[in-house]
Structure formats: C-alpha cells, structure tokens
Amino acid sequence: MAAIGGGGIGKSYIFERFLTGRVTGNGQYDPTIIDTVTTYRELATGIKSQVHGVTLHLTDVSGQTEYEQLRARDCYPLQHLVMICFSVDSYRSLEFAKHQCFEEFNFYNRNNIPYVLVGCQSDKRGHHDNEEEVSVDEARWTALEIGAVAYFECSAVTGEGVDDLFQKCSEIALNWDWEDVKRGHKKLEGEPKWFKGTKKEGSCATKCLIM
C-alpha cells in the first residue's frame, strides 16, 4: 500500500510510527521522494476472525507535482491500496488531497484498487482557534465525494489510530474482490457500500470506518 498527499502533512511519520513504534522528532523536516519498505505483521484481517501473517510493502511517495511520472510508473500500478492523506489542521491540505492527489491517482488507477482518505496529525485537533481545521464530518464527506472506501484519522506523534489504520487497510485490501477487478468490473459505482445516509439528513457515512 502507498500513502500520497501534500508535503509536510505527516505521511512519513505515520510509516515511521507504524514500523518503529516511535517518531524521531528531531525537528527537521525531511522531504521524501520515494521509499518502499517491507514488513511482516500478524494482523486480525477480518477473514474468519483469524490472525493472519501479512507481508506489507509500504510506499511513501512525494506529493510534489513534478514527480507525477514517478508515481505513475513506480507507485500506483504496484499497490493493493492507496491512502490519500491530508492534515486535519489544514483545509488546504484536504483541497490538495482532493483536487490534486485524488484526481491524479484516479486517472492512473486502471486496476481499480481501493483507496481510503486519511486525516493525519489528529492530535492537532481543537488545540488552537484554527479556521483551517477540518471537521470529522467534512472529512467524511470528502471521502464520500471521492468514492473512498473509508475515512480514518490518526496521529503519528501520539500513535493514536496508527496501528488500526494499517490493520483496517490490510483488511480492506485482503477482502477486496480482485477477481471482479480482473474481470474488468468497476468496483465503486454510485455510493460506496458503507454509505447509508443522505447529505440532507446530515447522517453522513454512518458505516464509514473511522478512528
């Protein structure tokens, strides 16, 4: 699976937290071009309620527009799931995720692989009087708008939601109907399966997985 999104929103930190259980936090921002790591985990994957050994190939890739060809060639075609990420303290990062990252990924997503929307840096929620903050409802609506399978939130700094994010994403990828995809059937048509509400009633995404 891969994480995409704007720069400085916390993608690499999430991977670091998941892989090492901590973040280095040396105060230096270290932009990534592309990094792939492989890790083996025992995960409860939702298949027959058993714990399964899962090999995860995690790709952390730059969101900069000049690396589009790199993503199109070395990232998107190799994935079983893509996390479209933004930071919950920045509307601008959500707009970038929606209009830039999703549009590009959607264009190259020939294999119809599943994707989720991820709100990073959730520890920043409610800390200041921040007009840029994205509410959970707004994020869920965006997930719905772009046809994401789910919306998740996590914080690499506190660690909250990070293990669950990878657990649930593995579950989604492992339970995806890849045979159907091979047969050329479009997977996400109309409303995602988990969506039961309507915008008017304000009961957005009642079945959306959220942490």
Interacting residues toward Mg ion by CB under 5 A: 12, 32
Alpha-helix residue ranges (DSSP H) falling in 66-145: 68-74, 91-95, 103-108, 136-145
Kindly tell me which residue out of 58, 97, 156, 173 binds ligand GDP, with binding defined by CB under 6 A: 156
Q: Whose CA is closest to 167, among 150, 192, 191, 146?
A: 150
Query: Which residue shows structure tokens 């929620």?
Result: 125
90 counts as binding ligand GDP under rule CB under 6 A: no
Q: Of ligand GDP, Mg ion, none, which one sits near residue 123, judging by CB under 5 to 8 A according to partner kind?
A: ligand GDP
Q: Of Mg ion, ligand GDP, none, which one sits near residue 40, judging by CB under 5 to 8 A according to partner kind?
A: none
For the chain, what's the residue count?
A: 211
Kindly tell me which residue out of 1, 2, 4, 11 binds ligand GDP, with binding defined by CB under 6 A: 11
Of 12 and 90, nearer to Mg ion (C-beta) is: 12
Burial of 70 (0-12, 13-18, 19+ CB in 10 A): middle
Q: Which residues sit at the interface with ligand GDP, rule CB under 6 A?
A: 7-13, 29-32, 120-121, 123-124, 155-157
